Amino acid sequence: MDRKRIHDEIVEILAAKLHNLPGLDPDGDFDYENQTLIPDITKEPLDIAEVGMDLEDAFGLNFEEIMPGDVGMETIGKLIDFVAGKVSDREAKAKAQQAAANE
């Protein structure tokens, strides 16, 4: 799954739950990457926790040590990078396991 697709899915999930964030901008004028989750998009940490659970379900991952909105994952861009890294790691493991099984 490429970063663009992850970006679009994350923005759709965030926009559906956090109404201060506009939906996907077909013109690409809105700067999603640098939007700070707290306080720019929401002031409620509970909203972010709920979105975190939605993202875990959507991408099959767990936010174990760091949650969206925490230091290190303050912006949508950092959240996208985190999710893209987890998805990439999972895909690489699956590919390696498939290669090992084919040997």
Give helix 45-59 / helix 76-102 axis angle, nearest 10°.
20
Q: What pLDDT, on a 0 to 100 scale, did the predictor assign at position 102? A: 85
Give per-10-residue mean pLDDT for the chain (103 aa): 94 91 81 90 90 95 90 95 94 90 83
Sequence letter at residue 30: F
Domains and CATH numbers, the chain: 3-23+32-102 (1.10.1200)
Preceding peptide of 39 cis, ω within 30°:
yes
SS3 call for 75: strand
Q: What pLDDT, on a 0 to 100 scale, did the predictor assign at position 39? A: 87
